[in-house]
């Protein structure tokens, strides 16, 4: 009898965890298929890859975390007033990744942090490859590749 109870207990413990993993996997699949990627999904990808939110958190929570990470007040407004369904650009993702992963920038990024100098810094570090400019539309596949390179770089720093 106790063996059956143990098995039943294990089943009830594993099923909720499996549904959470499936939920985040579905979200990643949706991000990969997106073309163009939405601003909310870009924020979720950047903050989630840094481990600053739970996998089941929403895009609004990811934008709130980015707003709290921004140093200056004018940069906090950049995240609070945006439509989460708007199309994300390469500059948006680069800036979000630099904030979420606490990547220090070069001279101009330290003076004027934002999407333009984030892309330039990431291009210099070879995290963004190919044609790249701040207002370039972003697909989910490219966002995942850039995020993967950022994760590889942050792992090497440790």
pLDDT in tens, 34-53: 889 999 999 999 999 999 99
Residue in this structure with the two tokens 């990811």, named with its chain if needed = 62
- Residue 88 is part of which domain span? 2-157
When pLDDT is cut at 50, 70 and 90, the band that residue 32 belongs to is: confident
Query: Which pLDDT does position 77 carry in this prediction?
Result: 62
Highest mean pLDDT among 22-36, 60-74, 97-111, 123-137: 123-137
How large is the angle between the packed helices 39-49 and 2-33, nearest 10 degrees?
130
DSSP letter string over 137-148? B--HHHHHHHHH
The structural domain count of the chain equals 1
79, 67 contact by CB (below 8 A): yes
Q: Please answer whether residues 94 and 153 qualify as being in contact, where contact means their C-beta atoms are separated by less than 8 angstroms.
A: no
pTM, to two decimals: 0.81
Consecutive H or E run containing 79: helix 73-80
């Amino acid at each position: 009898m106790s063996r059956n109870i143990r098995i039943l207990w294990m089943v009830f413990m594993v099923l909720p965890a499996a549904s959470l993993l499936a939920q985040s996997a579905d979200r990643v699949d949706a991000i990969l298929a997106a073309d163009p990627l939405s601003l909310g999904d870009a924020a979720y990808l950047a903050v989630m890859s840094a481990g600053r939110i739970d996998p089941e958190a929403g895009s609004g929570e990811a934008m709130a975390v980015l707003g709290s990470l921004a140093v200056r007040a004018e940069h906090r407004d950049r995240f609070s007033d945006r439509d989460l369904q708007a199309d994300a650009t390469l500059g948006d993702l680069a800036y979000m990744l630099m904030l979420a992963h606490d990547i220090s920038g070069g001279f101009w990024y330290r003076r004027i942090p934002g999407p333009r100098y984030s892309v330039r810094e990431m291009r210099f570090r070879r995290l963004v490859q190919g044609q790249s400019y701040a207002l370039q539309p972003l697909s989910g596949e490219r966002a995942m590749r850039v995020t993967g390179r950022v994760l590889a770089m942050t792992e090497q720093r440790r």
